[in-house]
Amino acid sequence: MRISPSGHNATSAPGRLLALAAALTLAVTGCGMLPVQQSAAPPTTSAPASDAPTSDAPASDAPATTPAAGQDDRPALAEVRSTMTEHLKVEVVGLNRVKGKHLVAQIRLSNTGTEDLPWTGQLGDHTRKLGEIRWASGIGVLDTQDRAWLLPYQPQHAPCLCSDQKRDNLGYFIAPGQSIGVYAVLPAPAGNPATATIVTPVGPPMPNVPISDEPPTGDFPDPDAEPVTPVVRRLVLPSESLDKSEETADDGKNLQVSLSSDVLFAIDEATLTPRARSVLAATAKLIDASPASVVAVAGHADSSGNDAINDPLSLRRARAVQRALASLLSRQGVSFQAKGYGSRRPLYSNDSEEGRRRNRRVTVTFSRPQQAAAEPAATTSPGATGLTATTDAGGSPMALKVTGLRRLSGGLGLLTYTVTNQGTAETWFNDLHHAQDWEAYKYQAASNVRLTDVAARRQYLPGRLQVPTDDGVDSYCACTDVSGVRSATSKFAPGQTREFWSLFALPSTAETLKVAVGPFRALQVPVR
């Protein structure tokens, strides 16, 4: 059963492979593909620059051609350029809500260069096992209300309810000056929003893409016709106090406050220090602002020592924090659950002193305090701020340009920036993923970025996508990936510019934040 252009269900033969088919193309050619755009020129109408951060990469010299009859020349709703190659242009040409609960996202991939470009490796979802690299499985949407990263459904007999390079005869390469159309069927974001932020592994997220409630153009698989599994990645946004007394992780539902045991207690003790009261008072205010009726308090240790010591000590510390918080709350009806886990649940690697310090903690978890969603502020062109800095990489001058720090809904922020090799020789620039050694991500990413609210003395770290595994949880940076097929992002040709991005929590009242990217000097950047 499929979602048809008319909005009615169209039956298909049992066992038929899911296929993408635009009505016009089916009528003309009989193949299951969207119309092919051959023009490398920009569409007649496109989204405003403020709606979609774009690269500063130079325009292609490839000649524009007139779209052939029946090919998809719809105007783009938003577009980005690939971080790996400026010649791959990614455009959203359709975003339709179906049955009030699904989305059909249609993407046009264009090769604006002069050589064939592969697309499957760039557009695949690296957070799940897919086997062959052939699916457009990385097309997703950011659910800001539920703080989730939504990816295409997984049906029973295929890894992805999305375009398949082999099945849909799309080819592994996109020829110079030509385009292909790909699609994904995925859950709609919560709250019935009028717009959504589209995410891909290729380039920065594309905010404010309008959602249509009209039937999509084309013929797509119906996710209600067979069992499908939603693929949801919880987005956790970490921040920490500059004095290292506590750090928080906000996943949109719960707030997890990790209080440093080195601040709360003396070594091998469970009696709170004089400084602990002021740290706990701030946590108590957050609980007062929360709808939580139950607060979990968990004591944790690093990997030094042994369980015979760590387990009872971590429990005693959890109970000490519980008693103090109960006395500091200004509202009634809150109960506590205290447990001690010893060293069994580390947040970070125990291989470094900083990792061990952060693992010595008491974690307080409760329902996230309710906050009014901040409306995205009016924005200017991504390059309007003009904030720049320079550094050196192996003798080559490297230039940073912050192209935007944009406030999204749900307390999220999107940072975009470019790095340019201003030298005359090819060079590697690896500093973007040389983050602190205690940070653990599944793959290397451009995570060496920090936002600081100087007035509030608080630092914000890139968001993390959490993926449950048999052994626990894998963390992926909600930022530009620089591993696997994307490892070439660390290599810059002379004069080459690449665009990078990161998602952060943003303080609701901050108008400017200090942005530190790798080895570049920190910049004061306005929040738009």
pLDDT tens-digit profile of 393-450? 888 999 999 999 999 998 999 999 999 999 999 999 988 887 665 566 777 889 999 9
Q: How many domains in the chain?
A: 3
The CATH number linked to 396 is 2.60.40
- Rounded to whole angstroms, the Cα distance separating 346 from 328 reads 28
**Mean local confidence (pLDDT), 116-145:** 89
Picking from 337, 367, 397, the residue at the C-terminal end of a domain is: 367
Helices (H), 401-487: none
Q: Which of 53, 54, 50, 56 is nearest to 419 (CA)?
A: 56
Q: Residue for token digits 């390469």?
A: 173
pLDDT tens-digit profile of 354-368? 889 999 999 999 999
Same domain, 218 and 243: no
Same domain, 247 and 198: no
**Mean local confidence (pLDDT), 316-326:** 97
Give the contacts of 42 (CB within 8 A, at least 6 positions apart).
Answer: 76, 79
Backbone angles phi, psi at 295, to 5 degrees: -120, 125
pLDDT tens-digit profile of 4-58? 444 444 433 333 333 333 332 333 223 333 233 333 333 333 333 333 333 333 3
Same domain, 210 and 251: no
Beta-strand pair 335-340/294-300: parallel
The per-residue b/e assignment along 370-397, b for 16 or more CB within 10 angstroms, e otherwise, is: eeeebebeebeebbebebebebebeebe
Continuous segment of H or E residues that includes residue 358: helix 353-359
Q: Residue for token digits 């940072």?
A: 415
Q: Would you call 489 helix, strand, or coil by DSSP?
A: helix
Q: In 10 A of CB 477, how many CB atoms?
A: 26
Q: What is the rounded (10 degree) CA torsion for 382, 388, 390, 393?
A: -10
- Rounded to whole angstroms, the Cα distance separating 163 from 19 reads 7
> Residue 483: CA atoms inside 13 Å, Cβ hemisphere, count?
15
Does the residue 19 lie in any domain? yes
- Rounded to whole angstroms, the Cα distance separating 75 from 52 reads 14
Same domain, 159 and 258: no
Q: Which residue has the higher pLDDT, 169 or 377?
A: 169
Does the residue 376 lie in any domain? no
Parent domain of 448: 387-526
Same domain, 23 and 170: yes
Q: What single-letter amino acid sits at 467? A: V
Backbone angles phi, psi at 264, to 5 degrees: -75, -35
